[in-house]
Structure 1
Amino acid sequence: MSKKVELEYELKTRSGSAVWALISTPIGLKKWLADDMTINEDVATFVWGDPLREHDIHTAKIVEMVKNDHVRFHWEASEDEAYWEIKMFHSEIAGNYHLYITDFAEDDDVEGLEQMWNQNIERLHVITGM
């Protein structure tokens, strides 16, 4: 049984359009989430590793995309209904944008999943300065 994992990260930006580009476009997602990434209609293809050597390729269906709000994916290789979602929202208090990540993992994989997202967000901070 998969467990729902919800994580929140503050970004150092007040630009909603910049955040939306980072979570909804291949150029944006390649900066912090995958080594390469393409979107063809409603299928996103993610590549990790060197495409000319050892690498992993995974495809996900884009289940829902609401502009300036969220993108929800479902791994095509997954047989269950679990999804992963990246949602952006603006904090009225700090004025910055936040990312709210929803993902699913088996009980013994939750810590690894959280570490993976923490590393991805750290990469986003380093590469974009957000």
Structure 2
Amino acid sequence: MADKVKYSIEFIMHSSPAFLYQYLSTPDGLSEWFADNVNSRSDVYTFLWDGSEEQAKRLSYKTNERIKYKWLTDEEEGTFFEFKIVVDDLTSDVSLIVTDFADDDEVDEGKMFWENQISELKQTIGA
């Protein structure tokens, strides 16, 4: 089995880091744009979409800066998906960098998935 490929995409967000972070780290925030419903019990988040369910474990976080999750069904070592909020020192522009992993032939699909999801997020928060 081939190793998954790591990729990152950057999105400019018109939002404060603290406001944006709520939508990346809380069940309520995530269910506004990422899944139909999200529940969490300690560090395990359950994402519900149209009858299907996926669980992810929160691996690490730094409030208002980054949060990293790993799908529990993904057995490959070292894979995760991460939301990182970066503020440009000069312009104060806020960027959201999404890092994820996909099979070599699915990276484009993965990027399209995140572009659609982040577009949904931007609409939700008015960014």
After superposition, the CA RMSD in angstroms is 1.1
SS state at 2:92 partner: coil
- Count of aligned residue pairs for this structure pair: 124
SS state at 1:17 partner: helix
Runs of 4+, deviation exceeding 3 Å: none
1:126 aligned onto 2:116 = no
Q: Which residue of 1 aligns with 2:12?
A: 10
Consecutive unaligned residues of structure 2, counting only runs of 5 or more, are none
Identical amino acids, percent of aligned pairs: 29
Q: Which residue of 2 aligns with 1:37?
A: 38
1:73 aligned onto 2:69 = yes
Q: Output the CA distance in 2 between the equivalents of 1:68 and 1:128.
A: 16
Q: TM-score scaled by structure 1?
A: 0.90
Residue 113 (structure 1) shift: 0.3
Consecutive unaligned residues of structure 1, counting only runs of 5 or more, are 50-54
SS state at 2:20 partner: helix
Residue 88 (structure 1) shift: 0.8
What CA deviation, in whole Å up to 9, does each residue of 1:29-86 have, x standing for no partner?
Answer: 111111111111010111112xxxxx21000111112111111111111111211111
Q: Output the CA distance in 2 between the equivalents of 1:96 and 1:28.
A: 22
Q: Which residue of 2 aligns with 1:97?
A: 94
Q: Judge conservation of contact 2:4–2:104 (CA < 8 Å) in 1.
A: yes
Q: TM-score scaled by structure 2?
A: 0.92
